[in-house]
Structure 1
Amino acid sequence: MTVKAVKAKYMLGMVVDSVGSGMYLPLSLLYFHHVTGLPLTRVGAVMTTAAVISLVSNPVAGVLIDRFGARTVVVGGYLLRAAGFCAYPLAHGGGVMFAVVLVVAFGDMAYPPSVQSFVAEIVQGRERDELLAAQRSLRNAGLGAGGLLAGTVLALDSDSAYHVIVLAAAAGYLAAAVCMRSIPTARDTAPKGPRAAPAGGYRLVVRNRPFLALSLLNIPTAFGYMVLSVSLPVYLTQELDAADSLVGVLYAVNTAGIALLQIPVTRALVRVRRTRAVSAGAGIFALSFLAYAALSTLSDHTVLLAGVFGATALFTAGELLHGATASALVAGAAPEETRGRHMAVYQLSWAVPIALAPAVLTALLSASAAGMWLLLAAGVAVSSAGVLALERRLPRASVHPLPPEEADTAHRPAGPVTDLQLSDG
């Protein structure tokens, strides 16, 4: 199968996955509140507990990836989530709800390390950056389309509409599993059966100091990613007295920007060292947080509105530079034999901040809105500088989107090396 065909099948899987997820994600709390009759606070507590417990599936997924291959874990995770979603209509009490939510949470937590390892298995070099960029773009579009479909179904004002949505999401996971299973990998021509895992387990990841540092440096950035859904809505409506509707508009601006611009931006970065692009993205995040902090000093409504959109545009620009490129950098920095374990450790640098962000960010916001933004800016600035400092210690192939010989040519101008020169690639 050609690289083009592989990418097409992969993206088809991503589309059906994201549309199904987009139908359900905005309604997750409301769904169980509607089906079980439990208060929203209790529903939220059950879902949070399940998400925290499911963190244990992350290191387990790493071991399974190295032993059975990333494709097997990706497909297994889809099937697990599809089974859980099919059981959702049966969850009429808190106990059953917790059981089915936990099953889906295990599948959710195993997904990031397995799918990134899968991408690393099926494409190399600049193809990896472009596929990850297309994935981010289409997932944003798919999530939006799924949300619109869910709104259309719920407009029918029928109790069965909620069940239609979760069963449609389950069907999306099953279709994605079929797409991913049909994509060939190098393991298909290797001897059958599980591959012997290298001795040392997760100790090998701990000994890989550059990779471990790369993962730790991602933690402040992961908290930064959460501001759009956690901090910004409260900051705008409570601190700046902005209209509630502005929150939805800003979220739409961000998702539309990623959907439309991620692919061309990533193509423009193929001759830039990944570490430089990731560092620049984190640096722009810091600028956006400083801009958000400065909004509290503005009194004119029109100027404030312009400042909000300007800061959000900066945030989106940082995400465009950082998102897909960081994923490609980390996947390349992980040794092939233990890529699953390495990616599982890296994904913890996302999972833990995502779990803690609602409590941590709201507490910081309550203590001092300006202080929260300044602390976030300082954190991502440290990440930006740290990634640059790691550049020489990371595998060469992980730093350059192009194959090493092409990257050498691209970075060998007549005068001094200029790594931030961009081209259309």
Structure 2
Amino acid sequence: MNAPEESGSTTRGSAPQETKPPRAAMLPRGAGVGWFGLAALVNAVGTGFFYPYQLLFFLAVTGFSLTTIGTALTVATLLALPAVQLVGRCVDTWGTRPVLVTAALVRTAAFVAYPFVHNIVSFVALAVVAAVAQRAEQVSVPVLAAGIAPEGEVGRWLALSRVALNAGMGFGGLLAGLALVASGDRAGFVLVGLLNAASFAVAALLYLPLPTVRPARKEAVPAGGRPWRDPLFVRIAVANFLLITVIVATEAGLPVYLVDQLRTPAWIVGLLFAVNTVTMVVLQLPVSSRLGNRSPLRVVAAGTALHAGLLVVLGCADALPLRALLPLLVLGMAVYTLGEIVSTQTLSVLLVTLSPKRQLGSYQAFNQVMVGLALAVVPLLVAFFLAHAPAGLWWVLAAATAALCLGMLSLHRGPAAAAARGAEAG
């Protein structure tokens, strides 16, 4: 787990990968990869403590109504977005380690403080600070991977972070459930918040052995100088925005639709999310290791298309008997998850490799602003359709995947294809 002492610059992207990598090449390599993966895992365990129970947590510790909490969190998410670009500039100026450690400690303090906040203005302010700290971590991790991963390994390091995210969130959710069973209502949720805070404090310690990745000072600032003036990067960021919207809307809407609308047994939801998690953890690294020598825009298009199967099944679910619906849902979720692995992995690598070295933090911050917008839009989108046209939600999401697939194929046929391949090749 020994990391190099310092990294003075980031790498543009992955070098060309072997056509048929050996089995060992599926695993990421390089000094510091152990600390990188462990920090990601601990961070994800903390997120898993909180994420499945977030609304119940805030209901228990604040005493606010569900409507008030939902509105406050949406407002906080939107208020945090302008600060994300500032975070990107901080990464470009001071490097990744100070930002990662500070963000983790801020999130620790926020979850310690939540049980003591009973004023809505204070709650929104604390939620804004926590949201900015979360975005700071998400901006810094790709920059860190790009800076310390050996040539040809950036994609595998990012894949490792996704494996850690899924495994850690699953384990954290299980531990949180046990904590809630073992304790009283409010006491149990306070314990969940404290465990979450502790995980972020441990993650801060695990970031310390990793190097501080700073931009390459000698590289000239590209023409335009801003990520929103980079047409290809903007298109890839918009594609990521659409894909995140589809994924998060599916995660949020599927339980409500199946249990409340179609009256299917609740265990089916658990089964589907178990299929999603296990498929992610088992296939993320092997599949990601085989994507490097393929056209990235075609890969994103293919992965996006795979999402549509589950969405179409859900759109038709109200007309299917349970004995036919269940196997279709399980198969659809497995194919959907494979598509998620393929498309999100390729987009994450493109978003790093298309960013100029000197502005890598700023470019990743711009992408995180887009991600934040997606997270703000999803609750309104899902609530509207589930209230007025439940099956329509899945057809709208399927249409979004079709549009994204066609958009990527259109880019593949234009000059952008060469630029995207060149970025991935480094």
| TM-score in terms of structure 1 length | 0.84
Q: What's the CA shift for 1:161?
A: 3.8
Q: What's the CA shift for 1:72?
A: 2.8
| 1:205-255 Cα deviation digits (max 9, x unpaired) | 232111111112233222211233222223223443312332222122212
> Is residue 181 of structure 1 aligned with residue 208 of structure 2?
yes
CA change 1:78–1:399 in 2 (3 A) is: farther
> Is residue 112 of structure 1 aligned with residue 138 of structure 2?
yes
For 1:377, give the aligned amino acid. A
How many Å separate the matches in 2 of 1:135 and 1:213? 24
Q: What's the CA shift for 1:152?
A: 2.0
For 1:285, give the aligned amino acid. H
- Counterpart of 1:375 (choices 387, 396, 405) is 396
Q: What's the CA shift for 1:284?
A: 1.0
| 1:177-226 Cα deviation digits (max 9, x unpaired) | 222232124549x8xxxx69977998522321111111122332222112
> Is residue 48 of structure 1 aligned with residue 74 of structure 2?
yes
| Matched-pair contact (CA < 8 Å) for 1:80–1:104 | yes
> Is residue 219 of structure 1 aligned with residue 241 of structure 2?
yes
- Counterpart of 1:167 (choices 194, 198, 203) is 194
* Alignment size in residue pairs: 398
| Secondary structure class of the residue paired with 1:155 | helix
For 1:225, give the aligned amino acid. I
Residue in 2 aligned with 1:145?
Answer: 171
| Matched-pair contact (CA < 8 Å) for 1:274–1:399 | yes
Q: What's the CA shift for 1:259?
A: 1.5
> Is residue 6 of structure 1 aligned with residue 32 of structure 2?
yes
For 1:166, give the aligned amino acid. G
CA change 1:51–1:403 in 2 (3 A) is: closer
Q: How does 1:11-410 map to 2 (within 5 A)?
A: 11-123=37-149, 125-158=151-184, 159-185=186-212, 187=214, 204-298=226-320, 300-391=321-412, 393-394=415-416, 399=421, 403=425
Gaps of 5+ in 2: 5-28
380-389 or 308-317: which moved more? Answer: 380-389
How many Å separate the matches in 1 of 2:151 and 2:303? 20
Identify the structure with bigger relative contact order (alpha carbons < 8 Å, sequence gap 6+). 2
Gaps of 5+ in 1: 405-425
Q: What's the CA shift for 1:102?
A: 2.5
For 2:209, give the aligned amino acid. S
For 2:237, give the aligned amino acid. S
| Secondary structure class of the residue paired with 2:226 | helix
How many Å separate the matches in 1 of 2:305 and 2:37? 30
| Secondary structure class of the residue paired with 2:138 | helix
Q: What's the CA shift for 1:394?
A: 4.7
| Matched-pair contact (CA < 8 Å) for 2:83–2:132 | yes
Q: What's the CA shift for 1:22?
A: 1.2
How many Å separate the matches in 2 of 1:143 and 1:227? 18
Q: What's the CA shift for 1:332?
A: 0.5
Q: What's the CA shift for 1:35?
A: 2.5
Residue in 1 aligned with 2:26?
Answer: none
Q: Considering only aligned residues, what root-mean-square deviation do their CA atoms show, in Å?
A: 2.8
How many Å separate the matches in 1 of 2:257 and 2:78? 26
| Matched-pair contact (CA < 8 Å) for 2:91–2:214 | no
| TM-score in terms of structure 2 length | 0.84
How many Å separate the matches in 1 of 2:420 and 2:206? 27
How many Å separate the matches in 1 of 2:119 and 2:425? 55
